Structure 1
Amino acid sequence: MKRRLPFFSLLPVLGLGAGLLLVELADFSCVLAQPPQAGEISPAEFEVVEELDQKAPMRDGVELMVDIFRPKAEGKFPAILQQTPYNKSGQAARARRFAKRGYVVVNSDSRGRFNSGGQWDPFSPLHKQDGYDLVEWIAKQAWSNGNVGTYGLSYMGWTQWWTASQSPPSLKAIVPEVAPPDHFYNCPYQNGIFVCWMVDWAGMMSARLPHSAGPGPYGGFAVHREAAYRNLPYIDFDTTRRHQPNDWWRKWMLQNTAEGEYWRAIAYQTPESYVKVQVPSLAITGWFDANFPGTSMNYLGMKDHGGTPAARRPRMIIGPWEHIINSRREAAGVDFGPEAIIDWDGYACRWFDYHLKGRQNGILEDPPLHVFVMGRNRWRAAQDWPLPETKFATYYLHSGGKANSSTGDGWLSTQPPGGEPPDDYRYDPDDPTPSAGFTNGHIDGPRDISPSAARDDVLVYTTPLLTEDVEVIGPITATLYASTSARDTDWMVRLADVHPDGRSLFLAEGVMRARHRDPDRGGAFNPNKLSAVMPDEVYPYRIDFWRPTGNRFAKGHRIRVEISSSYYPYYLRNLNTGEDNIALATRPVAAQQRIFHDSQRPSQVVLPVIPAR
């Protein structure tokens, strides 16, 4: 046990400027801290020359269209590349900001989009070689000093990892922002379950130019989700939703495991790919980012497998944001305070100043991890993920057999269960559990999910009122001992913070398609193959939450866990037929679900608790 000293000391925290933090002398691996600080960065001293619609040749003869923003000055400069399928012209403002600070910024339209040559396929492996070719083309230009970095969010985060996995010699550093992981850990398949916003995205992106279904998120495709995605079979969404014709939508549907050749060709989150990444990474995401798992998975993957010592020292920042990071201090009606907004471009510039310009600015002395703690509305700095001082606490499900809805008898406790009856509910795909609301196509913050918890097809387990604060930061795992009357179904587990006024604010979730359970690994998710599910057989399902949290459950609040088998229209419904490919199913089957929580089958959720100081 670590010895506790009876006093505190003021210690300077390296990399955080002149800030002094009150930390316990015996343990400062994770401390309340300032947000990531830009500090002194390259001054905005240059006028900007814009060279638009230039052509960059790829190795196969295809030419990609690029916009170049460079300082109006003689000499050679480091460069930053962004590859986007969303129209390079829309990325000009950020490019100008960096060009004023002495960088050449090159914005490229992805292969097959807008005026770039080639055929558009979002997940063609050609995007990997295009990234390599663009980096090396940039390095050879007269205005280049040979050092190239990358930035960009969402799909542009994917393009950075795809590029880095090809080891272009001139690439020196990357800044992946809200980068998704490989395709069965988030999108289009979230642990085997197709996410509806990715169907929206496929419609909007179904051709060379943006395709619209009308006003609203995702080119209007998100507006009528509830009705539109009840049409069967799912594979025909390209026609029922009037996508532009393409040859990749049906590959998405027909290759419904990660073993599909299409998915293997674009995958990047393997040890073999990570070892080819030679450069350091500074990644950022938000607790409510719909692509959250990519950032934390890549942090751990690079630590374990990065190809150089610098690559094995990744950096990660997690704020209280949705997918569009750092744009506002409020989410879903909750104000996270002034610290919620940081000088992100300034911090990214400081990163590039060090790695591309060689400026000794102390950024490597900054903590590798910054996380925002909701409820406390403060930042923590830490040395690793999970946070080193984490105490994983097991919360067990309990009830008298009637945990249905928030008025049922379910409760949550750190005491293991004894002889308790299971909880039953009926999942009917024709009457799915409604998902939390959204404004942008995603669940965009700590939404009040108490209305759906009033339904009998949701099992609810809640602690008594907390007598002290409980701070939860990091990865979460649930183990369910469950049976279904069907040959396949979905399991969905959510974590919520119940406030004294009765609001139940959504924080975190984990999901799994039942047939993706791996019998050889305790029921963990296996993206590569399906297993058999026999009706009414009890199986363990180990569900790693894809969306974790960093939240202080305040004294007087309660911790709540919900279980359902649908959350629609965020996820496509499982029709429960047990077919090898649900995209071809044409009829729904209602299922009787049962969750066990007794001494032999103790269903549970393990929370990463940060001990009180």
Structure 2
Amino acid sequence: MGEITEVDDSNPLYIARINEEIELKDGSRIRANVFLPRSGGPRWPVLMSSSPYGKDVPLMDRRVAAVPEEQRSKHTRFEAPVPSWWCTKGYVLVYHDHRGSSQSPGFLAPFSSQHYDDYAEIVTWAADQHWSTGKVGLTGISYLALNQWFVAARQPRGLCCIVPWEGMADLYRDATRHGGITCTGMNNFWFERAVRPVQYGKGRELSLHGPDSPEGNLTEDQLSENRENFPELVLSNEFIDDEFYKRCGACDFSKITVPLLSAGNWGGILLHLRGNILGWMRAGSEYKYLRIHTGTHDAPFYSSPAMDLQLSFFDCWLKGDDYGGWKTGKQAPVSFAVRKGNPGIAAVDEKEAFKYRDEKEWPLARTVYKQVNLTHKKELREELQSGSVSLLSVSRIRQNLQFFPSGERILFKSAPAEEAYEICGHPSVMLSMSLTNHPHDDFADIDVYLALRKFDAEGKEVFYTSSLGTPQAVTLGWVRASHRTLSPKPYPEIEGELAWPTLSHRRDDVKRVRPGEIYELLTELWPTNLAVEKGETIALEVSPKDVAESGLNTTNDALYRSEAKLGGNNNIHFGSQYKNYLVLPVV
């Protein structure tokens, strides 16, 4: 213990202890970097982060721009708090590689209970160190955020508060299987490009993979054997109650009782936004706060307003200095950007364009759920449609198209708004659909991709900044017809019924799709905010494939997106006996 620890005192703002070894109860060793302030002390509160991304891996060039100049140092890491800033504010930073990643030996199993158990044990370790006041907070973006929910539910001694910043809370619904459809694009990208298995260094580009491990380096075959293949596990575990999701997704949010600040991003569709909102709703904390910003994935975390917000939160719960008003009611339980106007696509937080509004709850108590009907004329109308049945072909899948299946989108468009209104909350969609001309009846299914869009008074579509910095629709949704069963109580921690539908995704709830039969497909769109001004229109896109703004979150895998499963025509049925509508939460 301690033989490989190196002390780096080259920065005048902090002292870095690299590869501090932490022995766990089962004898395993976790390696961490510990950053100690040079002033104050001798004890400070502790901020912690953990990920499989490599505590020693420098920021890639494209990520450096997200971090302001005054926060950059050689120890600035991907999605993690910056020691050169936080140590000067009187905090110790601890950032560890979880078991089997980067410098921590062991078997790498991302999203595992083992990882969360390790993290909870390390929280108590940090609380007991001679340089610690015994009070610990958790922070970080994305993976560094999602694991905070699971650690907090374990209630480790010393944990006082958490800040999950753009982090999912339901791995299945938030990330890997939207609507039951496998998200292979992000799963593969994340596994191959972001995760850093232990002993990954020699012969590889330092800027991407970090230094060698003290024990030497493994071959590619050894590395493969020393970690789970996450994309394959997602493909082979189709249902939310399969063993893989039981292991990595089980969390009793009612046991999260420490103060929390959950920060989401309206542009974080497909990966993070839903988790920040639902995690906040599910948590049992007396003091919990929801903030929803705009802009790219990581830049808002490091912005001056966000840093000041986080500092006041941690100062309150870790130092007892509540100048920010977290205990007194000065801080609203909910605050978010209202997306009004068209600021264009930007790589930064659009604070100058979108004003923030404080609220007391989520969903907003004054919400009116307005049903807008789809018509065979590709309209969105408040009136119910009467008349005979019409069929509108949505897709024809062809196996020889390697990336995307064929089939054109259908855009159901509203009339121009006669007066301004605001959509704020959880929309949903109902479709009456059938499958015809399917080549293999025994394996039939229907995949539906949905996008809510906005057009200005001149008819030009208004795009918003995704977390990747690319153009994005207002919000998205998905449903696989065989997964159409709804869950009456998807989240036991939330009292009462949800105002939007949530698919069950349980193995026993799967329902076969038979060609020629008509099915009602009711599903949620991800939560959103949108101000619609006079003369503007909205539209609902229905598509058989990934919408244009899917980014890395594509679903083009051969096993689940095949001709044998999805070939044929998808049809939407219209008439007085069929239900086709969009539900909008209007405030």
TM-score (norm. length: structure 1): 0.73
Task: Name the CA distance, whole Å, in 1 between partners of 2:563 and 2:109.
Answer: 28
CA contact (8 A) 1:319 1:371 kept: yes
Identify if the C-alpha distance between structure 1 residues 597 and 431 changes in structure 2 by more than 3 Å, giving closer, same or farther: farther
SS of residue matched to 1:141:
coil
Matched, 1:292 2:273: yes
Task: Name the CA distance, whole Å, in 1 between partners of 2:401 and 2:310.
Answer: 43
1:599 CA displacement = 2.5
Kindly provide the amino acid, as one letter, of the partner of residue 355 in structure 1: W
CA contact (8 A) 2:485 2:503 kept: yes
1:149 CA displacement = 0.5
Task: Name the CA distance, whole Å, in 2 between partners of 1:86 and 1:375.
Answer: 36
1:276 CA displacement = 2.1
Task: Name the CA distance, whole Å, in 2 between partners of 1:130 and 1:532.
Answer: 41
**Pairing of 1:9-24 with structure 2 (within 5 A):** none
Match of 2:151 among 163, 168, 171: 163
* Partner residue, 1:86: 53
* Partner residue, 1:404: none
Q: Which segments of 5 or more consecutive residues in structure 1 lack a partner in the other structure?
A: 1-45, 220-242, 329-340, 400-408, 436-451, 576-580
Match of 1:602 among 570, 579, 583: 579
Kindly provide the amino acid, as one letter, of the partner of residue 297 in structure 1: L
* Partner residue, 1:516: 483
1:167 CA displacement = 1.1
* Partner residue, 2:305: 343
Number of positions where the alignment pairs a residue of Structure 1 with one of Structure 2: 483
1:278 CA displacement = 2.3
**Pairing of 1:380-529 with structure 2 (within 5 A):** 380-399=357-376, 409-419=377-387, 421-430=390-399, 457-485=408-436, 486=438, 487-504=444-461, 505=463, 506-518=473-485, 524-529=502-507
* Partner residue, 1:360: 322
TM-score (norm. length: structure 2): 0.76
CA contact (8 A) 1:432 1:573 kept: no
SS of residue matched to 1:457:
coil
CA contact (8 A) 1:490 1:574 kept: no
SS of residue matched to 1:88:
coil
Match of 1:69 among 32, 35, 52: 35
Kindly provide the amino acid, as one letter, of the partner of residue 344 in structure 1: A
1:520-550 deviation line (CA, Å, top 9, x unaligned)? 86985112222211212112111111x3321
Q: Which segments of 5 or more consecutive residues in structure 2 lack a partner in the other structure?
A: 1-11, 60-74, 77-81, 210-222, 342-353, 439-443, 464-472, 489-499
Task: Name the CA distance, whole Å, in 2 between partners of 1:434 and 1:378.
Answer: 40
Task: Name the CA distance, whole Å, in 2 between partners of 1:284 and 1:55.
Answer: 31
Task: Name the CA distance, whole Å, in 2 between partners of 1:119 and 1:386.
Answer: 41
Kindly provide the amino acid, as one letter, of the partner of residue 394 in structure 2: Y
SS of residue matched to 2:30:
strand
CA contact (8 A) 1:148 1:172 kept: yes
Task: Name the CA distance, whole Å, in 2 between partners of 1:427 and 1:300.
Answer: 40
Match of 1:564 among 522, 543, 549: 543
**Pairing of 1:276-291 with structure 2 (within 5 A):** 276-289=255-268, 290-291=271-272
Matched, 1:136 2:116: no
Kindly provide the amino acid, as one letter, of the partner of residue 84 in structure 1: S
Kindly provide the amino acid, as one letter, of the partner of residue 301 in structure 1: R
SS of residue matched to 2:85:
helix
* Partner residue, 1:323: 297
Kindly provide the amino acid, as one letter, of the partner of residue 174 in structure 1: I
1:453-491 deviation line (CA, Å, top 9, x unaligned)? xx9621111011222222111111111121123521211
1:596 CA displacement = 2.5
CA contact (8 A) 1:432 1:566 kept: no
Matched, 1:261 2:224: no
Kindly provide the amino acid, as one letter, of the partner of residue 363 in structure 1: W
SS of residue matched to 2:321:
coil
Match of 2:187 among 194, 198, 202: 198
Task: Name the CA distance, whole Å, in 1 between partners of 2:105 and 2:533.
Answer: 55
CA contact (8 A) 1:433 1:457 kept: no
Match of 2:521 among 515, 518, 541: 541
CA contact (8 A) 1:285 1:325 kept: no
1:261 CA displacement = 1.3
1:147-182 deviation line (CA, Å, top 9, x unaligned)? 110001111112211211211021110000111122
CA contact (8 A) 2:167 2:276 kept: yes
Task: Name the CA distance, whole Å, in 2 between partners of 1:295 and 1:190.
Answer: 16
